[in-house]
Amino acid sequence: QVQLVESGGGLVQAGGSLRLSCVASGSTFSINNMGWYRQAPGKQRELVATISSGGDINYADSVKGRFTISRDNTKNTVFLQMNSLKPEDTAVYYCKAIRRVAGFGFYPYWGQGTQVTVSS
């Protein structure tokens, strides 16, 4: 099992910055990809950014150039630095980790989410 705890959300004005953190605990040795997703009211959850254990990174087009994902494997932590925030970035942000279990496959784990609100 893997447990994920996010922190760093809050209220910020448009143009401001926030840094989200997600700490993984439990069977962290078998985690492959980690990432951030978000869900705005009335909308489906969407990918924001992902990072593999080897450092391969993927961003949603809407956040490219503004958000930066990083990972500290020694601390089992993934970060999301969010700059130039826009009101449309308002959402609950969820951390996701994918754990590989040899012979069984890949299992996703989600954090509880952290609210990010950007005022205009």
- Taking only the tens place, the pLDDT of each residue in 78-117 is 999 999 999 999 999 999 999 988 888 899 999 999 999 9
- Taking only the tens place, the pLDDT of each residue in 39-82 is 999 999 999 999 998 899 999 999 999 999 999 989 999 999 99
User: Could you write out the DSSP letters of every residue in 59-73?
Assistant: E-GGGTTTEEEEEET
